[in-house]
Amino acid sequence: MNGSTLHKTAADCAEELPGAQLEHPFGPDWEVFKVRGKVFMLMTEVPGRPVVILKADPGEALALREHNSHITPGYHMNKKHWITLEGGEGVDEELVRELVTDSYRLVVAHLPKAEQPVDPHTYGSGTRAAR
């Protein structure tokens, strides 16, 4: 998947998530997706390369980085809890949608229960492949 397709796929997925909102708090070069005011995805270009920055479970983030050269520590974010994804071989729509949804669920899980737009423990399980 190339960089522009990566951005479109990630944005399309994020826009489908309940309560997700797109903002531009850092200017027009940064697209920031939030749920209930909390960031779960950022998109920008890092010297000409489109990237998607996502929250990830620390253990999963480490495994993802070890097994995919297109996944690196989070750009300008906590390197333990965030990953940067760029286009390339092995990056497909299924992986992008899974990582975006997982990032969203991690953020929703830390919201007060009354503010959670979905149950983060069950949302998306078994339904992603059907979309």
Q: Which pair of structure tokens corresponds to residue 101?
A: 């949804």
Which conformational region is residue 19 in: left (phi greater than 0), alpha (psi within -120 to 50 degrees), or beta?
left
Amino acid type, 101 = T
Burial 12-32 (b: 16+ CB within 10 A, else e): ebbeebeebeeeeeeeeeebb
Q: Quick one: which of 10, 42, 45 has its CA closest to 23? A: 42
Q: pLDDT truncated to tens, each residue of the chain (131 aa)?
A: 999 999 999 999 999 999 999 999 999 999 999 999 999 999 999 888 999 999 999 999 999 999 999 999 988 888 889 999 999 988 999 999 999 999 999 999 999 999 999 999 889 765 433 33
Give dist(CA 35, CA 83) in Å, integer. 18
pTM beyond 0.85: the answer is yes
Give the domains, in start order, of the chain with CATH numbers. 3-115 (3.90.1150.30)
